[in-house]
Structure 1
Amino acid sequence: MSEQRDGGWSDTKPTGPEQQALADKVKGDVEKAANRIFSEYKAVLYRFQVVQGMNYIIKVHVEAPTYVHVKLFQDLNGGVKYEGFQDHKTEEDPIIIF
């Protein structure tokens, strides 16, 4: 498995409480963009990029069998900004940079 390079995106990794907390901060933005409320919202995998802060793309399980890929930015002060999402993903879909 390759390591993350400065400015490059990491390999896909399993999420932990930190990534779930980040995903939770933008849940309302994702629901608004998707035009629906999610009965489930569990972060499962993620990729990140170190910039002047951190870019993240997090795979979130929203309802069987659907996933969404959520893009967000965390600034150096810990602020989180919603950047977009991709809908209708499956468990098998890789996290592709968008």
Structure 2
Amino acid sequence: MQRVMCGGTSNEKPATPELQQLADSMKSAIEEATKKKYDVFVVKSYKIQTVAGTNYFIKIHVGGDDYVHARVFEPLPCSKDERSVHGVLENKSQHDELVYF
């Protein structure tokens, strides 16, 4: 039986300059999570999930055939919290689907 989540994710969308900017602002946190440095760091696509803020699931090309999927949480503007990385999946490929994690 498949579980349906409240506040499910959007369809996968092509990268935008704004999403690249968001990913760039979180690059050091993503590198810290993977314990790697990336010379290539290009957003290819993303999904969003609206919760008490927004989860961004971002597919990032990091060189060669390698991709990472990052989940970045951006809290509501009224909160005093800052955006943060809530997870990173490594060893992904161009064809791996972005899924909730």
Q: Does the pair score TM above 0.5?
A: yes
Aligned length: 93
Deviation at 1:79, TM superposition (A): 3.4
State the TM-score, normalizing by the size of structure 1.
0.88
Superposed counterparts of 1:28-47, under 5 Å: 28-47=28-47
In 2: Cα distance, 1:13 partner to 1:62 partner: 19
In 2: Cα distance, 1:71 partner to 1:7 partner: 15
- Structure 2 residue runs without a partner (length 5+): 1-5
Deviation at 1:33, TM superposition (A): 1.5
Are the equivalent residues in 2 in contact too, given 1:29–1:82 (CA < 8 A)?
Answer: yes
Q: Deviations over 1:47-85 (max 9, x none)?
A: 101112111110000011100000011112293111110
Q: Deviations over 1:3-34 (max 9, x none)?
A: xxx71210110010111111112110111121
- Structure 1 residue runs without a partner (length 5+): 1-5
In 2: Cα distance, 1:26 partner to 1:88 partner: 19
Q: Which runs of 4+ in 1 moved over 6 A?
A: none
Amino acid at match of 2:26: V
Percent of aligned positions that are identical: 35
Which structure would you say has the larger Rg?
A: 2
Task: Name the SS of the counterpart of 2:57 in structure 1.
Answer: strand
> Which residue of structure 2 aligns with residue 71 of structure 1?
71
Task: Name the SS of the counterpart of 2:60 in structure 1.
Answer: strand
Amino acid at match of 1:74: E
State the TM-score, normalizing by the size of structure 2.
0.86
In 2: Cα distance, 1:44 partner to 1:97 partner: 17
Alignment RMSD? 1.4
